Chain A
Amino acid sequence: MRKVIALLGLGLLFNHCEANCQQVNVIKWQEVQEVLTTSSDTTYVLNFWATWCKPCISEIPFFEEVQKNYKNKNVKVVLISMDFVKDLNTRVIPFVNQRNLSTKVWLLNEPDANEWIDKIDPTWSGAIPATLIINNSKKKKVFFEQKLDYDRLVKELSDFL
């Protein structure tokens, strides 16, 4: 329900956007938790990034490629922004529209990160970029606290498909 309201709200705010215009959902931990615990046979690629993080931005095109090329293989990519929620309209949405990103973008508004970092992966120190690939029905996950490129993503995903 909350998601629907958020979507409607964003839709009203940005209804000037044309077909390709992507929406950025501001989410709470619960939404991430749902991905981490879903029983569906979907492989999720969760990338933690921010608009001001240079290594993060340099790897975004690779995630776009993955999202396009693996759409029909039950792979879903989500770019989870660590930008401050106050920067949503001034930085995050303009960034997403300028780059014409088709990958889903969330802004995780949970400032008490100590509560959730270990739930993504206990080895994560909290530095970004960071990426989690997870498929619950296959009981598989891998985590990276580093920059990845397209070849590496393809190699890692081959273990999930």
Chain B
Amino acid sequence: MKNKFWLALVAILALGMATTLFFRSQIAQASPNGYSIGATVANFTLQNVGGNSVSLADYKYKKGVIVVFTTNHCPFAKAYEERIIGLDKKYASLQFPVIAINSNDASDYEEDSFDNMKKRASEKRYSFPYLQDLTQTVAKAFGATRTPHVFVLKNEGSKFTVQYIGTIDDNYQDPTSVTKRYVEDAVNNILAGKPVVVTQTKAVGCAIGWKDA
């Protein structure tokens, strides 16, 4: 009788471990080479459209940053452009600003060249940096695959950790029909000192065009 009990217990534990491992591997597959939730982000320095260079370390006195991988050409990125501007408007004053990064290989789409990035940023009066990731090393470090692809980073004493990875909200076609504001929810929770509830989402987006791919 006692033996049966232990056998059952061992079986249940083994099953539990197996399912945990299974789901872990599924999550790991989603971003094979990039940061996962909780990971510490390495500093990066990129060229801004304003001519200056911008580093993540420049934000050491902020509460966090909203890193958005985006492009000029991608219709999904265009559909979200006003909402990205809106995020910076809302959260920059709360010490949680936006950093936009274009990692696309400009030889795929002329619209994504540095000159056209400058034009776009000035036309739309971006209140945040719009950085060119010419070597694509930052996109690879993050595991960004598409645009727009958002990473919400929390800063604790110059240590930036990933708290949310995914899409801005649940309706790319129509901002007025949005019901779930994933990025806002994540930032609001971090600002309130609470854990982020939905930490990962997916969205359809333009694949980042890799060099030599």
Residues on A lying within 8 angstroms of B by beta carbon are 48, 50, 52-55, 82-86, 109, 111-115, 117-118, 122-129, 145
Contacts and interface: CB of A to CB of B under 8 A. Distances in A.
5 contacts: A54-B108, A111-B171, A114-B166, A126-B146, A129-B207
Given A114-B202, A122-B30, A128-B206, A84 B167 contact: no
Contact of A123 (B29, B170, B177): B29
Given A112-B171, A125-B145, A127-B208, A117 B75 contact: no
Residue of A113, A114, A125 most packed against chain B (CB within 10 A):
A125
Pick the 4 closest A-B CB pairs, nearest first: A127-B207, A127-B146, A125-B145, A117-B202
A125 B170 contact: no
B43 interface: no
Interface of B: 26, 29-31, 73, 75, 79, 108-109, 145-146, 166-167, 170-174, 177, 180, 201-209
A153 to B, nearest CB: 18
Given A114-B167, A122-B26, A125-B31, A55 B172 contact: no
Contacts of B206: 53, 127-128
A111 B174 contact: yes
Contact of A82 (B26, B31, B171, B204): B204
Nearest to B200: A114
Contact of A122 (B29, B108, B180): B29
Contact of B173 (A54, A84, A114, A115): A84
Nearest to B108: A54
